Protein backbone atom coordinates (compact mmCIF):
# COMPACT_ATOMS: atom_id res chain seq x y z
CA UNK A 1 0.00 0.00 0.00
CA UNK A 2 1.44 3.32 -1.07
CA UNK A 3 1.10 5.30 2.16
CA UNK A 4 3.16 8.48 2.48
CA UNK A 5 3.65 10.83 5.36
CA UNK A 6 4.40 14.40 4.31
CA UNK A 7 5.73 17.00 6.73
CA UNK A 8 5.54 20.52 5.40
CA UNK A 9 8.65 22.44 6.43
CA UNK A 10 6.97 25.58 5.20
CA UNK A 11 3.89 26.22 3.06
CA UNK A 12 5.99 25.48 0.01
CA UNK A 13 8.34 22.60 0.78
CA UNK A 14 8.23 19.34 2.67
CA UNK A 15 9.69 15.91 3.18
CA UNK A 16 7.66 12.89 2.13
CA UNK A 17 8.32 9.48 3.68
CA UNK A 18 6.82 6.11 2.86
CA UNK A 19 5.27 4.47 5.89
CA UNK A 20 4.19 0.88 6.23
CA UNK A 21 2.37 0.76 9.53
CA UNK A 22 0.96 2.88 12.32
CA UNK A 23 2.23 1.36 15.57
CA UNK A 24 0.56 3.84 17.88
CA UNK A 25 -1.70 6.80 17.44
CA UNK A 26 -3.19 8.64 20.37
CA UNK A 27 -3.75 11.95 22.09
CA UNK A 28 -2.28 12.84 25.44
CA UNK A 29 -3.31 15.81 27.54
CA UNK A 30 -0.67 17.86 25.69
CA UNK A 31 -0.34 16.66 22.14
CA UNK A 32 -1.02 14.11 19.41
CA UNK A 33 1.50 11.24 19.46
CA UNK A 34 2.05 8.91 16.50
CA UNK A 35 4.61 6.18 16.05
CA UNK A 36 4.86 4.74 12.54
CA UNK A 37 7.04 2.26 10.73
CA UNK A 38 8.96 3.53 7.67
CA UNK A 39 11.17 1.74 5.18
CA UNK A 40 13.82 4.45 5.01
CA UNK A 41 14.14 5.54 8.62
CA UNK A 42 12.79 2.64 10.69
CA UNK A 43 10.35 3.63 13.39
CA UNK A 44 9.50 7.30 13.54
CA UNK A 45 7.87 9.28 16.36
CA UNK A 46 5.74 12.34 15.63
CA UNK A 47 4.31 14.92 17.99
CA UNK A 48 1.43 17.00 16.64
CA UNK A 49 2.32 15.72 13.17
CA UNK A 50 5.99 16.75 13.24
CA UNK A 51 8.89 14.27 13.12
CA UNK A 52 10.67 14.12 16.46
CA UNK A 53 12.99 11.14 16.06
CA UNK A 54 13.56 8.24 13.72
CA UNK A 55 15.51 5.11 14.49
CA UNK A 56 17.91 5.68 11.61
CA UNK A 57 19.09 9.23 12.29
CA UNK A 58 18.40 9.76 16.00
CA UNK A 59 22.05 8.99 16.73
CA UNK A 60 22.99 12.36 15.26
CA UNK A 61 20.64 14.43 17.37
CA UNK A 62 21.39 12.53 20.56
CA UNK A 63 25.17 12.57 20.07
CA UNK A 64 25.10 16.27 19.48
CA UNK A 65 22.76 17.39 22.25
CA UNK A 66 24.82 15.53 24.87
CA UNK A 67 28.52 14.96 24.14
CA UNK A 68 29.68 18.51 23.36
CA UNK A 69 28.61 19.67 26.83
CA UNK A 70 29.67 16.53 28.67
CA UNK A 71 33.15 16.60 27.12
CA UNK A 72 33.52 20.34 27.79
CA UNK A 73 32.48 20.26 31.45
CA UNK A 74 35.45 18.80 33.36
CA UNK A 75 33.35 16.79 35.77
CA UNK A 76 29.61 16.52 34.99
CA UNK A 77 28.09 14.63 37.92
CA UNK A 78 24.47 15.69 37.81
CA UNK A 79 22.62 16.26 34.56
CA UNK A 80 19.05 17.36 33.90
CA UNK A 81 17.19 16.76 30.63
CA UNK A 82 14.06 18.84 30.09
CA UNK A 83 11.84 17.20 27.49
CA UNK A 84 13.51 14.31 25.70
CA UNK A 85 10.88 11.78 26.65
CA UNK A 86 12.09 9.31 24.02
CA UNK A 87 15.11 8.62 26.26
CA UNK A 88 17.81 9.01 23.62
CA UNK A 89 19.57 11.85 25.43
CA UNK A 90 19.59 9.97 28.72
CA UNK A 91 21.00 6.90 26.95
CA UNK A 92 23.97 8.97 25.71
CA UNK A 93 24.48 10.70 29.07
CA UNK A 94 24.76 7.28 30.72
CA UNK A 95 27.82 6.55 28.58
CA UNK A 96 29.72 9.12 30.62
CA UNK A 97 30.94 7.28 33.73
CA UNK A 98 31.44 10.45 35.77
CA UNK A 99 27.71 11.19 35.66
CA UNK A 100 26.21 10.07 38.97
CA UNK A 101 22.64 11.10 38.32
CA UNK A 102 20.60 12.03 35.25
CA UNK A 103 17.11 13.41 35.76
CA UNK A 104 14.56 13.34 32.95
CA UNK A 105 11.82 15.94 33.36
CA UNK A 106 9.26 15.32 30.59
CA UNK A 107 5.85 16.95 30.72
CA UNK A 108 4.08 14.19 28.79
CA UNK A 109 4.07 10.75 30.39
CA UNK A 110 2.60 9.18 27.26
CA UNK A 111 5.77 10.00 25.30
CA UNK A 112 7.88 8.12 27.87
CA UNK A 113 5.49 5.19 28.04
CA UNK A 114 5.20 4.70 24.28
CA UNK A 115 8.92 5.22 23.69
CA UNK A 116 9.65 2.40 26.14
CA UNK A 117 7.11 0.25 24.30
CA UNK A 118 7.94 1.04 20.67
CA UNK A 119 11.43 2.61 20.63
CA UNK A 120 13.31 0.34 23.05
CA UNK A 121 16.78 1.11 21.68
CA UNK A 122 16.22 4.81 22.41
CA UNK A 123 14.48 4.30 25.72
CA UNK A 124 16.92 1.69 27.08
CA UNK A 125 18.02 3.94 29.95
CA UNK A 126 14.60 5.20 31.02
CA UNK A 127 12.80 1.88 31.37
CA UNK A 128 13.48 1.68 35.09
CA UNK A 129 16.52 -0.56 34.90
CA UNK A 130 19.14 2.14 35.44
CA UNK A 131 19.69 3.31 39.06
CA UNK A 132 21.53 6.46 37.88
CA UNK A 133 18.38 7.73 36.14
CA UNK A 134 15.35 9.42 37.70
CA UNK A 135 12.14 10.27 35.81
CA UNK A 136 9.84 13.19 36.62
CA UNK A 137 6.66 13.59 34.64
CA UNK A 138 6.36 17.31 35.14
CA UNK A 139 6.53 20.73 33.56
CA UNK A 140 10.20 21.69 33.09
CA UNK A 141 9.60 25.24 34.29
CA UNK A 142 7.95 24.11 37.50
CA UNK A 143 10.73 21.63 38.13
CA UNK A 144 13.68 23.98 37.82
CA UNK A 145 11.98 26.66 39.85
CA UNK A 146 12.38 24.33 42.83
CA UNK A 147 16.01 23.46 42.13
CA UNK A 148 18.82 25.93 42.77
CA UNK A 149 22.52 25.53 42.14
CA UNK A 150 22.16 21.84 41.61
CA UNK A 151 23.06 20.68 38.09
CA UNK A 152 26.34 20.61 36.17
CA UNK A 153 24.63 20.33 32.81
CA UNK A 154 21.03 20.99 31.74
CA UNK A 155 19.86 19.87 28.28
CA UNK A 156 16.72 21.43 26.83
CA UNK A 157 15.58 18.68 24.48
CA UNK A 158 12.38 20.39 23.44
CA UNK A 159 9.98 20.46 20.53
CA UNK A 160 9.68 23.56 18.36
CA UNK A 161 8.69 26.84 20.02
CA UNK A 162 5.02 26.28 19.36
CA UNK A 163 2.66 24.22 21.52
CA UNK A 164 3.79 22.98 24.94
CA UNK A 165 7.43 24.05 24.41
CA UNK A 166 6.88 27.74 23.71
CA UNK A 167 7.94 28.82 27.21
CA UNK A 168 11.28 27.04 26.78
CA UNK A 169 12.54 29.71 24.36
CA UNK A 170 12.01 32.73 26.63
CA UNK A 171 14.50 34.73 28.68
CA UNK A 172 12.65 34.04 31.89
CA UNK A 173 13.09 30.32 31.39
CA UNK A 174 16.80 30.73 30.73
CA UNK A 175 17.13 32.66 34.01
CA UNK A 176 15.60 29.75 35.87
CA UNK A 177 17.98 27.34 34.15
CA UNK A 178 20.88 29.62 35.09
CA UNK A 179 19.85 29.44 38.74
CA UNK A 180 19.38 25.70 38.66
CA UNK A 181 22.92 25.27 37.34
CA UNK A 182 25.96 25.22 39.57
CA UNK A 183 28.49 28.03 39.29
CA UNK A 184 30.26 26.34 36.40
CA UNK A 185 27.18 24.88 34.74
CA UNK A 186 26.39 24.47 31.04
CA UNK A 187 23.03 24.55 29.26
CA UNK A 188 22.42 23.07 25.81
CA UNK A 189 19.21 23.76 23.90
CA UNK A 190 18.19 22.72 20.42
CA UNK A 191 17.96 25.93 18.40
CA UNK A 192 16.13 25.12 15.13
CA UNK A 193 17.35 25.37 11.54
CA UNK A 194 19.58 28.31 10.56
CA UNK A 195 18.21 27.94 7.03
CA UNK A 196 14.50 28.20 7.79
CA UNK A 197 14.27 29.74 11.27
CA UNK A 198 16.47 32.84 11.26
CA UNK A 199 13.89 34.84 13.21
CA UNK A 200 13.51 32.29 15.98
CA UNK A 201 17.29 32.02 16.26
CA UNK A 202 17.74 35.78 16.45
CA UNK A 203 15.31 36.11 19.33
CA UNK A 204 16.46 32.94 21.11
CA UNK A 205 20.17 33.86 21.10
CA UNK A 206 19.34 37.38 22.15
CA UNK A 207 17.49 35.95 25.14
CA UNK A 208 20.34 33.55 25.95
CA UNK A 209 22.98 36.28 25.84
CA UNK A 210 20.95 38.34 28.28
CA UNK A 211 21.50 35.55 30.80
CA UNK A 212 24.70 33.60 30.02
CA UNK A 213 28.18 35.09 29.56
CA UNK A 214 29.16 32.47 26.98
CA UNK A 215 26.73 31.60 24.18
CA UNK A 216 27.84 29.74 21.05
CA UNK A 217 25.90 28.05 18.26
CA UNK A 218 26.92 24.69 16.87
CA UNK A 219 25.54 22.67 14.00
CA UNK A 220 24.59 19.13 13.01
CA UNK A 221 23.11 17.52 9.91
CA UNK A 222 19.80 15.81 10.64
CA UNK A 223 18.18 14.51 7.46
CA UNK A 224 14.62 14.28 8.79
CA UNK A 225 14.54 17.83 10.19
CA UNK A 226 13.65 20.88 8.06
CA UNK A 227 16.46 21.58 5.55
CA UNK A 228 18.63 18.86 7.12
CA UNK A 229 20.71 21.58 8.79
CA UNK A 230 20.11 21.89 12.51
CA UNK A 231 21.64 23.80 15.40
CA UNK A 232 22.15 23.80 19.15
CA UNK A 233 22.88 26.64 21.57
CA UNK A 234 25.77 26.11 23.96
CA UNK A 235 25.32 28.47 26.94
CA UNK A 236 27.73 28.44 29.78
CA UNK A 237 28.80 30.25 32.94
CA UNK A 238 32.56 29.81 32.63
CA UNK A 239 33.57 27.01 30.25
CA UNK A 240 34.05 27.78 26.57
CA UNK A 241 33.07 24.93 24.24
CA UNK A 242 36.26 24.86 22.21
CA UNK A 243 38.85 26.73 24.27
CA UNK A 244 38.09 24.68 27.39
CA UNK A 245 37.41 21.47 25.51
CA UNK A 246 39.47 18.51 26.68
CA UNK A 247 40.38 16.96 23.33
CA UNK A 248 42.14 14.00 24.87
CA UNK A 249 39.32 13.03 27.19
CA UNK A 250 36.96 13.04 24.22
CA UNK A 251 39.41 11.11 22.07
CA UNK A 252 39.98 8.47 24.75
CA UNK A 253 36.28 7.93 25.53
CA UNK A 254 35.46 4.27 26.00
CA UNK A 255 32.36 4.21 23.81
CA UNK A 256 31.70 4.51 20.11
CA UNK A 257 29.87 7.38 18.50
CA UNK A 258 28.63 7.32 14.92
CA UNK A 259 28.36 11.10 14.55
CA UNK A 260 30.30 12.87 17.32
CA UNK A 261 34.07 12.75 17.54
CA UNK A 262 36.77 14.96 19.02
CA UNK A 263 37.55 16.59 15.65
CA UNK A 264 33.93 17.22 14.81
CA UNK A 265 33.47 18.78 18.27
CA UNK A 266 35.54 21.74 17.09
CA UNK A 267 34.19 21.73 13.52
CA UNK A 268 30.60 21.89 14.73
CA UNK A 269 31.26 25.42 15.99
CA UNK A 270 32.69 26.60 12.65
CA UNK A 271 29.52 27.93 11.11
CA UNK A 272 28.49 29.11 7.66
CA UNK A 273 28.50 32.89 7.37
CA UNK A 274 24.71 33.13 7.04
CA UNK A 275 24.23 31.13 10.25
CA UNK A 276 26.63 33.41 12.14
CA UNK A 277 24.76 36.37 10.72
CA UNK A 278 21.44 35.03 12.03
CA UNK A 279 22.63 35.48 15.59
CA UNK A 280 24.97 38.44 15.25
CA UNK A 281 24.10 41.12 17.80
Question: With binding defined as CB under 8 A, does residue 221 bind a copy of itself?
Answer: yes
Catalytic site residue from 48, 157, 183, 248: 157
Kindly indicate which of the ranges 70-78, 82-90, 170-178, 225-233 contains the residues binding a copy of itself, using the contact rule CB under 8 A: 225-233
**Distance between CA 182 and CA 77 in Å, rounded?**
11
**Distance between CA 242 and CA 174 in Å, rounded?**
22
Looking at 113, 136, 228, 246, which residue binds a copy of itself (CB under 8 A)? Answer: 228
- Site track for a copy of itself across 56-95, x = CB under 8 A: -x--x-----------------------------------
Question: With binding defined as CB under 8 A, does residue 249 bind a copy of itself?
Answer: no
Based on CB atoms, which residue is closest to a copy of itself, 21 or 145?
Answer: 21
- Site track for a copy of itself across 26-45, x = CB under 8 A: ------x-x-x-xxxx----
Looking at 111, 165, 189, 268, which residue binds a copy of itself (CB under 8 A)? Answer: 268
Question: With binding defined as CB under 8 A, does residue 6 bind a copy of itself?
Answer: yes
* Residue 157 annotated in active site: yes
**Distance between CA 34 and CA 25 in Å, rounded?**
4
Burial of 56 (0-12, 13-18, 19+ CB in 10 A): middle
- Shortest approach of a copy of itself to residue 9 CB, angstroms? 8
CB 223 within 8 A of CB 272: no
**Distance between CA 277 and CA 235 in Å, rounded?**
18
Phi, psi of 102 (to 5 degrees): -120, 130
Based on CB atoms, which residue is closest to a copy of itself, 100 or 263?
Answer: 263
Q: Which of 192, 238, 249 is nearest to 217 (CA)?
A: 192
- Shortest approach of a copy of itself to residue 193 CB, angstroms? 9
Q: Is 119 strand, coil or helix?
A: coil
Question: With binding defined as CB under 8 A, does residue 21 bind a copy of itself?
Answer: yes
Question: With binding defined as CB under 8 A, does residue 202 bind a copy of itself?
Answer: no
Question: With binding defined as CB under 8 A, does residue 97 bind a copy of itself?
Answer: no
**Distance between CA 190 and CA 157 in Å, rounded?**
6
The answer on whether 140 is annotated among ligand-binding residues is: yes
**Distance between CA 212 and CA 187 in Å, rounded?**
9
103: left (phi over 0), alpha (psi -120 to 50) or beta: beta
Query: Containing H/E element for 70?
Result: helix 58-70
Question: With binding defined as CB under 8 A, does residue 269 bind a copy of itself?
Answer: yes
**Distance between CA 154 and CA 28 in Å, rounded?**
25
Looking at 10, 29, 129, 254, which residue binds a copy of itself (CB under 8 A)? Answer: 10
Which letter, b or e, does each residue of 123-149 get, where b requires 16 or more Cβ atoms within 10 Å of its Cβ? Answer: bbbbeeeeeebebeeebbbebbeebee
- Shortest approach of a copy of itself to residue 49 CB, angstroms? 5
Task: Give the residue numbers of the binding site for spermidine.
Answer: 62, 86, 157-160
Binding stretches for a copy of itself (CB under 8 A) = 1-8, 10-22, 25, 32, 34, 36, 38-41, 46, 49, 57, 60, 195, 219, 221, 223, 227-229, 256-261, 263-264, 266-274, 276-277
Amino acid sequence: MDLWYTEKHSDNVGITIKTTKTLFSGKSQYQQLDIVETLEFGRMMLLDGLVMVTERDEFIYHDMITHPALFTHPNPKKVLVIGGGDGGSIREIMKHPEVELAVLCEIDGLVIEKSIEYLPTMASAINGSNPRVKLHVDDGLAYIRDHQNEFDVILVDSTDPIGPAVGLFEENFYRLVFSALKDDGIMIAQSESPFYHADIQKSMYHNLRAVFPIVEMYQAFIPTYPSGFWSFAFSSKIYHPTKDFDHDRAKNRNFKTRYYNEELHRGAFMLPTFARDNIAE
